[in-house]
């Protein structure tokens, strides 16, 4: 809870809304979380780290998480960020698949806080190319 409160104080917690109300929240930081293994990521790319993506119970299964990820991607691209990175519990394969389906690539697996975790990233160069193709096919 202390980390979350600190992220709020530092302006790292975003809330996203649409016409129907709150889509959810996400925590973003340019600093690699201290609990990530130091060698899991390439240090040569400007990155944002996604943590605590959450949607209200009533919004689950409606694409709210994807909308939040697209908003993060758009803002990151505008800010010159090269890659988005995140971790999730490896014991929940559905969660890893969710992020892979959203365009994130599995980089590795390590333990954090004594539990197996998957580490994923999404290159924003690839995201821009995908978006351009999608716009061209409409």
Question: CA 74, 121, 64, 6: dihedral to nearest 10 degrees?
Answer: -90
Segment 76-114, tens digit of pLDDT: 999 999 999 999 999 999 999 999 999 999 999 999 999
Beta strands in the chain (DSSP E): 13-18, 21-29, 47-54, 83-89, 105-112, 115-123
- Whether residue 39 has pLDDT greater than 70: yes
Contact 26, 16 (CB under 8 A): yes
Name the nearest CA neighbour of 123 among 75, 68, 82: 82
Q: What are the structural domain ranges in the chain?
A: 2-136
**Across residues 31-35, what is the average pLDDT?**
92
Q: What is the mean pLDDT of the chain?
A: 87
Class of domain 2-136: alpha beta
For strands 83-89 and 115-123, give the pairing: antiparallel
| Residue 1 or 119, more confident | 119
């Amino acid at each position: 809870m202390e980390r979350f409160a600190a992220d709020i104080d530092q302006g790292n917690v975003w809330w996203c809304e649409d016409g129907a109300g709150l889509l959810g929240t996400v925590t973003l930081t340019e600093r690699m979380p201290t609990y990530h293994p130091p060698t899991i990521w390439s240090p040569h790319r400007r990155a944002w780290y996604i943590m605590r993506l959450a949607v209200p119970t009533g919004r689950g299964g409606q694409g709210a998480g994807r909308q939040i990820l697209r908003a993060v991607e758009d803002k990151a691209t505008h800010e010159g960020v090269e890659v988005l990175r995140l971790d999730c519990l490896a014991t929940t394969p559905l969660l890893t698949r969710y992020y892979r389906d959203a365009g994130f690539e599995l980089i590795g697996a390590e333990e954090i806080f004594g539990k197996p975790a998957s580490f994923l990233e999404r290159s924003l160069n690839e995201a821009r190319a995908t978006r351009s193709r999608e716009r061209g096919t409409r």
